């Protein structure tokens, strides 16, 4: 069993289905069209900790877990499973990544609850500039005909700018997607007069950028991730995360 904190952080990040559960039967299957195997365990869910919301309330439901190792678990044993989604329909099956002692449930639940904060910390760590500002102006860029999946960038300019990390550049150009395509549906949208904290990143290799005129490309930044725009109420947390020497 794994139980160190960094490992739990890693497991929480990587596992798509995490739950505390009690082993009901070994070498069995609760899923239609999935024949029993020696490395299967049918597990009753006691407390779902991380799961796809489409699955609804998982409590007391049976999940067939493909175990990493046979022989480690016995019927009635209660542990916390870190698993990957596998089969949904005619029952639920999942593939084990790891399991830990049931006594660590509070710790695992706390790590799950910290996922949004960890994601914010990662975006802060990769940001070139972090600014508290007000959106002064929004302008569309020429329609990009190169792809249906083009972000259809708009540019934003700011005023009342305060640098929380890095110094704002006078002629910087900030780009954000306006396309309604699913690929960009979760990206932030800006409005004139909007105030907040903006996590500005270097443009990725793709999608291609629009012609931003005489501005230096080094002064071009993007807002792509939902976490890249934060309300001012998050400032204490952001300042705390920025002050940490190492953001995990």
Tell me the backbone φ, ψ of residue 55, rounded to 5 degrees: -80, -10
Q: Does residue 92 interact with other proteins by CB under 8 A?
A: yes
Measured distance CA(86)–CA(16) in Å, rounded = 10
| Residue 100 near residue 225 (C-beta atoms within 8 A) | no
Q: Which of 27, 56, 116, 231 binds other proteins (CB under 8 A)?
A: 56
Pick from 77, 9, 2, 86: nearest CA to 43: 77
Q: Which residue has the tokens 């870190």?
A: 82
CA distances from 15 to 12, 67, 112 (A): 6, 14, 10
**Using CB under 8 A as the criterion, what x/- string covers residues 164-203 for binding other proteins?**
---------------xxxxx--------------------
Count interface residues toward other proteins (CB under 8 A).
38
CA distances from 166 to 155, 201, 242 (A): 20, 12, 11
Q: Does residue 6 interact with other proteins by CB under 8 A?
A: no
Q: Does residue 43 interact with other proteins by CB under 8 A?
A: no
**Using CB under 8 A as the criterion, what x/- string covers residues 104-143 for binding other proteins?**
---------------------------------------x
Considering only the stretches 52-60, 100-108, 120-128, 157-165, report the one whose residues sit in contact with other proteins under the rule CB under 8 A: 52-60
Measured distance CA(123)–CA(60) in Å, rounded = 37
Q: Does residue 60 interact with other proteins by CB under 8 A?
A: no
CB 122 to other proteins: min, Å? 14
CB 111 to other proteins: min, Å? 18
Q: Which of 9, 16, 47, 234 binds other proteins (CB under 8 A)?
A: 16
Q: Which of 4, 6, 38, 53 binds other proteins (CB under 8 A)?
A: 53
The sheet with strand 220-222 has its strands ordered as: 220-222, 173-177, 153-165, 129-140, 195-200, 229-230
Residue 16, both tokens: 């798509």
CB 181 to other proteins: min, Å? 7
Which CB sits closer to other proteins, 13 or 235?
A: 13
Tell me the backbone φ, ψ of residue 20, rounded to 5 degrees: -90, 140
- Contacts with other proteins by CB under 8 A lie at 16, 31-34, 52-57, 66, 84-92, 95, 143, 145-149, 179-183, 204-208
């Amino acid at each position: 069993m794994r139980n160190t904190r960094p490992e739990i952080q890693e497991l929480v990040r990587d596992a798509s289905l995490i739950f505390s559960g009690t082993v009901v039967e070994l070498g069995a299957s609760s899923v239609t069209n999935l024949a029993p195997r020696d490395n299967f365990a049918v597990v009753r869910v006691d407390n779902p900790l991380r799961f796809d919301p489409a699955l609804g309330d998982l409590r007391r439901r049976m999940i067939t877990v493909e175990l990493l190792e046979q022989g480690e678990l016995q019927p009635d044993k209660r542990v916390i499973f870190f698993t990957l989604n596998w089969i949904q329909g005619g029952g639920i099956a999942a593939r084990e990544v790891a399991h830990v002692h049931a006594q660590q449930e509070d710790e695992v639940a706390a790590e799950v609850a910290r996922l949004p904060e960890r994601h914010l910390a990662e975006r802060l760590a990769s940001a070139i500039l972090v600014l508290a500002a007000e959106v002064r102006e929004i302008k569309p860029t020429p329609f990009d005909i190169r792809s249906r999946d083009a972000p259809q960038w708009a540019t934003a300019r700011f005023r009342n700018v305060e640098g929380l990390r890095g110094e704002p550049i006078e002629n910087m150009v900030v780009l954000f997607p306006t396309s309604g395509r699913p690929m960009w549906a979760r990206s932030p949208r800006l409005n004139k007069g909007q105030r907040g904290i903006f996590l500005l990143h270097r443009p990725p290799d793709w999608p291609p950028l629009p012609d931003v005129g005489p501005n230096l490309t080094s002064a071009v930044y993007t807002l792509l991730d939902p976490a890249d725009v934060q309300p001012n109420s998050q400032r204490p947390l952001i300042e705390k995360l920025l002050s940490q020497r190492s953001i995990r």
